[in-house]
Structure 1
């Protein structure tokens, strides 16, 4: 059984700020992991049926393994329209964030959706601000 690290008041404070910057709701999971989700409303269909599923529309962000210097493993994921993918990748890279995946999740969706995943070892607040700037054009 893995040893669980106590959630400190500092971790909670940083998680609250991380979520506020990203404009999402948060929860703290065992680990501890600060997990933030944010709905990105857009119109899409899969197999000809309209979808509003969180599996399609939600942006996801997290940080964990916060060290004494204030840096953590920070992760992000979002869906983009295919014609937005290159711009988001460039935006993230310009902030020192590594893009780790670009792929589809669905077949026969309209418009064509691509999912981008990214990671960095950064201060979570810096990561949240850099991510917010990078995704701002998505609306």
Structure 2
């Protein structure tokens, strides 16, 4: 088990822009079976995918990192992110 401080965690950042707008960016950490589900959910929510990559050659399970970005109404962004989160198997930090 690796602690979240080592970067093996999904991170989502909201930046208020005023006028009910927000910018979001962050990383999804996911396994291969989760990747397409997350990509579809983000695209459906008009959230831009910046990059998809992996960090290690022999990690088990194999993890992929997806960076994303969007700006619009903050509530709309939060609702668009929910299906992507639901496509992964997150566990709360201890």
TM-score w.r.t. the length of structure 1 is: 0.57
**For residues 111 and 57 of structure 1, what CA distance do their matches in structure 2 show?**
12
Local SS of the residue matching 2:35:
helix
Q: Does the CA-based 8 Å contact 2:29-2:65 persist in structure 1?
A: yes
| Per-residue deviation, 1:86 | 1.5
Report whether the alignment pairs 1:107 with 2:57.
Answer: yes
Report whether the alignment pairs 1:59 with 2:29.
Answer: no
Alignment correspondent of 2:74: 124
| Per-residue deviation, 1:101 | 0.7
* CA deviations over 1:107-129 (Å, ceiling 9, x no partner): 32011110011110022222122
Identify the structure with bigger relative contact order (alpha carbons < 8 Å, sequence gap 6+): 2
Alignment of 1:24-103 (within 5 A): 51-54=1-4, 55-67=6-18, 69-103=19-53
Matched length: 88
Radius of gyration: which is bigger?
A: 1
Q: Which runs of 5+ in 1 are unaligned?
A: 1-50
Q: Does the CA-based 8 Å contact 1:56-1:79 persist in structure 2?
A: no
Q: Which runs of 5+ in 2 are unaligned?
A: 90-94
